[in-house]
Structure 1
């Protein structure tokens, strides 16, 4: 296992959330996965969506293999500084945008149904 030499806050990690500079936090460890994005079997968008917040649940839910966990250690750059506040304004906005993208169909369906009911009511 690499020697721990750096501590980063969640705010530090959230500044690295692009395809050209991507860090993730999993199990209290910080990883610079920029070079791995193109090789990730699930696509780079999965990793990019996990930046700016603790991605442990996402990582565990994906059911990564032992070899994937070992490979991840190549990208280890430091530990999460637990004394710093975890909540960041960006993490809130990122989560909100993810929810909006994920559940956009619900309000669209509600509006569509309302329009159909309105037309049916006006025809009478």
Structure 2
């Protein structure tokens, strides 16, 4: 009897984007990599950045070994439903600033604060010389 493959939409896969519950999509397959995040040689943030989209290009660009690809197959939970993946991706796009950019801004607040601080100092020095 053939094994039935579970189909997931990109929208379903994108709902699993936390360290405790992380799914990624590569080559049309959906993987639950939650248990592997702590062991990933590139760090969990690299994997978490690829949730909610097709991560095939990022995966291939990283040059994963044959053993990594074999390990990945043990985490496969289904396939991407290609009939609805494009429309689901469009529905999942946030309006305004991209959500991941907003998350980075919240996480790395010191960078924007430093830019503002430097701008104030430069402006003050410029006005002082006049």
Give the Cα–Cα distance (whole angstroms) in 2 for the partners of residues 61 and 117 of structure 1.
Answer: 41
Between 55-64 and 88-97, the greater mean CA deviation after superposition: 88-97
**Is this contact kept in 2: 1:4–1:78, CA < 8 A?**
no
- What are the ranges of 5 or more consecutive residues in structure 1 without an aligned counterpart? none
**Is this contact kept in 2: 1:7–1:78, CA < 8 A?**
yes
Matches within 5 A, 1:1-124: 5-84=5-84, 85-87=87-89, 90=92, 92=94, 93-97=98-102, 100=105, 105=111, 108-109=114-115, 111-124=116-129
Deviation at 1:45? Answer: 2.2
Q: Deviations over 1:88-121 (max 9, x none)?
A: 555544443366468x847843x34432332122
Give the Cα–Cα distance (whole angstroms) in 1 for the partners of residues 91 and 113 of structure 2.
Answer: 25
RMSD, aligned α-carbons: 2.7
Pick closer, same or farther for the CA change 1:99–1:44 going to 2, 3 Å: closer
Q: Deviations over 1:12-61 (max 9, x none)?
A: 10111222221100111101112212221122222122211111222122
Give the Cα–Cα distance (whole angstroms) in 1 for the partners of residues 99 and 55 of structure 2.
Answer: 12
Give the Cα–Cα distance (whole angstroms) in 2 for the partners of residues 69 and 12 of structure 1.
Answer: 23
Pick closer, same or farther for the CA change 1:89–1:77 going to 2, 3 Å: same
What is the TM-score when the length of structure 1 is the normalising length? 0.76
What is the TM-score when the length of structure 2 is the normalising length? 0.73
**Is this contact kept in 2: 1:29–1:79, CA < 8 A?**
yes
- What are the ranges of 5 or more consecutive residues in structure 2 without an aligned counterpart? none
